[in-house]
Amino acid sequence: MDYQDRTVVITGGVGGLGTAVVEALLAAGAICHVPHRGESTDGHRDHKRLTFHPGIDLTDEEVVERFYRQIPGLWASIHVAGGFTAGRVVATGKSVLASQFDMNVVTCYLCCRSAVKAMTATPAGGRIVNVAARPALEWRSGAGMAAYTASKAAVAALTVALAEEVAKDDVLVNAVAPSILDTEANRKAMPKADHAAWPKVADVAQTILFLASPSNKVTRGAIVPVYGRV
């Protein structure tokens, strides 16, 4: 997949999956922009085609719009940013539900909105890839984490609806739906699980790269399962 001189925004680009996506994009020749809420990117690589944008609150509409306006020639926007909270419904109040929707739905919606504005301002079109989750497709598997499941199901619905809206503008919108990713944090949280069966972030990144690439000419409105062997 050739991303030579293609400009890509990656939200959540300092996390496990996001870092893998950025690494793969750089290897493919992309120009990468990574917004993040913190002020430090210690431990993350320096690269002449990689720019970190600190202090970006992706739940703030004006901040998101201002950020996207400063990105020239946007080709793809990949939305990995999000958060997870487990808990039975009886133990999960409104504040937790609202937080899950802020982290997973609001950030995705606002970035999609600003990305579409940028992409439809030129005849080149573009690509958008969101990150849902397995419970977004298999609701019963979301028992014990209903707030998270509801938020990721909303991401999936947003993806399909937006894909239909912007298809004629040559903006193709898709999402991946991972199961438990093989990350250091997940291994620590579930030390007795079969880690070998979990999907690897580098492999999931390759699926994302195809969906966001110029090579993808027809796939839109898809929520692609990336479950590994789980």
pTM, two decimals, is 0.95
Q: List Cα–Cα distances, 190 to 100, 181, 185, 198, in angstroms.
A: 22, 11, 9, 12
Cα–Cα dist 153/138, whole Å: 9
For the chain, how far is it from start to end, CA to CA, in angstroms? 27
Please compute the mean of the pLDDT values over residues 1-28 and round it to a whole number.
96
CATH number at residue 98: 3.40.50.720
Q: Which helix (H) or strand (E) holds 178?
A: strand 171-178
2, part of any domain: no
Q: How confident is the model at residue 227 (pLDDT cuts 50, 70, 90)?
A: very high
148, part of any domain: yes
Q: Does the pLDDT value for residue 56 go beyond 90?
A: yes
67 contacts: CB under 8 Å, gap ≥ 6: 35, 53, 56, 114
Q: Which amino acid is at 5?
A: D
Q: Does the pLDDT value for residue 154 go beyond 70?
A: yes
Model pLDDT for residues 105-148, shown as the tens digit of each residue: 999 999 999 999 999 999 999 999 999 999 999 999 999 999 99
Query: Which residue range forms the structural domain that includes residue 158?
Result: 7-226
Token representation of residue 118: 């940028």
pLDDT for res 182? 86
Token representation of residue 87: 């808990």
56, part of any domain: yes
22, part of any domain: yes
216, part of any domain: yes
1, part of any domain: no
191 contacts: CB under 8 Å, gap ≥ 6: none
Model pLDDT for residues 78-109, shown as the tens digit of each residue: 999 999 999 999 999 999 999 999 999 999 99
168, part of any domain: yes
Percentage of the residues of the chain whose pLDDT score is greater than 70: 98
User: How many domains does one find in the chain?
Assistant: 1
Eight-class DSSP state of 215? T
Q: How confident is the model at residue 220 (pLDDT cuts 50, 70, 90)?
A: very high
Model pLDDT for residues 31-44, shown as the tens digit of each residue: 999 999 976 676 67
Q: List Cα–Cα distances, 206 to 156, 176, 180, 188, 209, in angstroms.
A: 20, 11, 17, 25, 5
60, part of any domain: yes
pLDDT for res 230? 82
